[in-house]
Amino acid sequence: MEPFSLDIHKYLGIARRRVYWIVIPFLLAILGGMVSVLRAVHVYEAQTLILVQPQEVPQSYVRPIVQRGLGERLRTITQQVTSRTNLEAIIDRYELYRGGEMMLEEKVNRCRSSISVNVGRGGGGGNTFEITFRHTDPEKAKDVTNALASNFISENLKIRESQALGTSSFLADELASVRRKLEQKEETLKQYSMAHMGAMPDQLGTNLSMLERMQRQVEQLNDSLQDAENRKLMIQEQMAQQKRMADQMAQFTTAESLLASDDAMLSGDASEPVSEDLAVLRDQLERLKIRYTEFHPDVRRIKSMIEKLEAREAEQAEQAIQEPEPLLEAASLMPASHAGPLTPSAGDMLRPQLSRINYEIQDIRREIAKTREKIDLYQSRVEETPRLEQELITLKRDYNNLKGLHDSLLNRKLEAEIAVSMEKKQKGEQFRILDPARRPEIPVEPDIRRVFLLTIILGLGIGGGLAYGKEILDSSLKTPEEVSESLGLPVLITLPLCFTGQEKRARRWKARLKAAGVAVGFAVTAVGIVLVLKGLDGTLQYVKGLLPFV
């Protein structure tokens, strides 16, 4: 198998021999492309560039409510601008698509498909976006594009203001709800504090100090009660001793009564209670020593009484030894009516003191009972404090959470109100038209460059294919190699065709006339087609539009 080799001279020879097979299909393809361009509906595209202008008030002073990105917001605005209601208004206002039998729904869909929004076009980066609209009428394309830009601006203002108002209203409702809960929690805390008045954790120190003071007071009252009971006991013992002595004195003689009377005078004032039984006094002294020291007034008084009684007994014993019989005789001679005491007894004098001591003891006991009740009250408060503290911690935690939420919502509501005022005054982020739409001069459909390139490729392909096919079907011998290969004989010499000068001129003129005829025919056909399809004015306008591509 022979390797493939590309002989360019061979193909150039074919092109020279079959030039009209290439040129005529090429010109016909060009003509067909022109016809398709002329018959196609020309679509014009109008563009407008919009700048996203940031808010005038610094964000450090007023935080914007709208936090979504430009792309997301543009998608939302595009959905609203291209809604059926808005597009129907635009179609009716600018009389779009009036020449056909299209239904209103088809018009809306076609209008929506002709609108495009592109972010970042026009050299403004991410802070700009471009709105384009396509239509067969360039003037309507311009007008609709500007109308769409105005709708985008107005919808952006409405959305921002609506979102600001909605945010403020939502925060106001939430704030009112949280405020009601906070007031209920405050009322709960108030009722709880009133129900446990005096036992709250912050009163623990006061309760402990009061409890300690009450305990000291009880100790003092107990000491006073013990002292009063001791005095009562002493008076009772004295009264009992006085009663026994009175019984004994009734049996004594007048002498003994006189002696007792003298001894009573020697012992002191009649109003002072004195016990004359040394055994009772000694026993009472021992009991007092158990409770008190030697320097206690009661101990010293009992000792003094014991000393007096001992001295009086010693004196009586001495007198009895010296004069026993006269005393007995005097006692026997004394009348019975003088046997008792002439003055009130000591027991009668001690009874008022005993009554006062009884009253004092009752008062002390009542005071002790009241104090113990207070101690129990303060003790119960102290014991309840840990439990109340835990409950209060729970209540205060809920209250503090609600309070923090309330304060946060209040601050946000104030910020939202400021943002609403800023949006109403149009000081927030706005859309501003940088480049308004202008009347397009060159159609974007059909793409003449692309059609021209495709017709050239198609014409060359068809012409080359026909020329190559004609060359293959032609069985004549054209080169010495073909002759040698076909006859099997070597070619010794080749002679080129020789033409006279007149023949050469005739051939050249003939070739020129053919080329000129083909060109003129193509041009006339093209102009005729344009005139038929476009008319004279349309042809001139079309040629003017083609000038930039020539």
Does residue 545 belong to any structural domain of this protein? yes
Does residue 287 belong to any structural domain of this protein? yes
Does residue 229 belong to any structural domain of this protein? no
The partner residues of 132 in beta bridges, in order of sequence, read 47, 116
* Three-class SS state of 349: helix
Confidence at residue 133, expressed as pLDDT on a 0 to 100 scale: 93
Confidence at residue 145, expressed as pLDDT on a 0 to 100 scale: 92
Q: Compute the average pLDDT of residues 335-346.
A: 44
pLDDT tens-place string over residues 270-326: 333 333 457 777 777 777 777 777 777 777 887 888 888 878 777 777 765 555 444
Q: Which domain holds residue 260?
A: 253-338
Q: At what angle do helices 278-291 and 297-322 cross, to 10 degrees?
A: 160
Show the tokens assigned to 241: 């001793």
Is the model's pTM score more than 0.75? Answer: no
Confidence at residue 257, expressed as pLDDT on a 0 to 100 scale: 45
Does residue 192 belong to any structural domain of this protein? no
Confidence at residue 516, expressed as pLDDT on a 0 to 100 scale: 76
Confidence at residue 132, expressed as pLDDT on a 0 to 100 scale: 92
Q: Give the pairing type, strands 115-119 and 128-135.
A: antiparallel
User: Taken in order 368, 374, 378, 381, is the CA torsion positive or negative?
Assistant: positive
Confidence at residue 265, expressed as pLDDT on a 0 to 100 scale: 40
Mean pLDDT is lowest, of 135-149, 198-212, 425-439, 515-529, for: 515-529
The partner residues of 115 in beta bridges, in order of sequence, read 133
Show the tokens assigned to 351: 């009874």
Among 297, 317, 338, where does a domain finish? 338
Does 54 or 380 have the greater pLDDT score?
Answer: 380
Residue 423, pLDDT > 60, answer yes
Confidence at residue 255, expressed as pLDDT on a 0 to 100 scale: 38
Is 115 within 8 Å of 169 (Cβ atoms)? no
**DSSP state at residue 43:** B
- Separation of alpha carbons 246 and 174, rounded Å: 96
Does residue 245 belong to any structural domain of this protein? no
Does 145 or 291 have the greater pLDDT score?
Answer: 145
Q: What is the mean pLDDT of the chain?
A: 75
The DSSP H or E segment spanning 240 is: helix 204-251
- Number of domains the chain contains: 2
Rounded to the nearest angstrom, the gap between the alpha carbon of residue 66 and the centroid of all alpha carbons in its chain is 16
Mean pLDDT is lowest, of 89-93, 161-165, 203-207, for: 161-165
Does residue 265 belong to any structural domain of this protein? yes
**DSSP state at residue 406:** H
Does residue 33 belong to any structural domain of this protein? yes
Confidence band of 65 (pLDDT split at 50, 70, 90):
low
Q: Compute the average pLDDT of residues 333-342.
A: 41
Q: Compute the average pLDDT of residues 223-245.
A: 83
Among 277, 311, 338, where does a domain finish? 338
Does 212 or 69 have the greater pLDDT score?
Answer: 212
Confidence at residue 324, expressed as pLDDT on a 0 to 100 scale: 46
Confidence at residue 538, expressed as pLDDT on a 0 to 100 scale: 63
Written as one letter, the residue type at 428 is: G
Mean pLDDT is lowest, of 3-7, 160-164, 256-260, 484-488, for: 256-260
Residue 337, pLDDT > 60, answer no
Confidence band of 142 (pLDDT split at 50, 70, 90):
very high
Among 277, 303, 338, where does a domain finish? 338
Q: Exposed, middle or buried, 160 (CB in 10 Å: 0-12/13-18/19+)? A: buried
Show the tokens assigned to 538: 């349309």
Confidence band of 535 (pLDDT split at 50, 70, 90):
low
Cβ contacts of 543 within 8 Å, gap of 6 or more: none
Residue 98, pLDDT > 60, answer yes
Confidence band of 550 (pLDDT split at 50, 70, 90):
very low
- Separation of alpha carbons 219 and 5, rounded Å: 133
Does residue 2 belong to any structural domain of this protein? no
Confidence at residue 66, expressed as pLDDT on a 0 to 100 scale: 62
- Separation of alpha carbons 204 and 210, rounded Å: 10
Q: Is the peptide bond before 64 cis (omega within 30 degrees of 0)?
A: no
Neighbours of 195 (CB within 10 A): 9
Does 327 or 373 have the greater pLDDT score?
Answer: 373
Does 139 or 287 have the greater pLDDT score?
Answer: 139
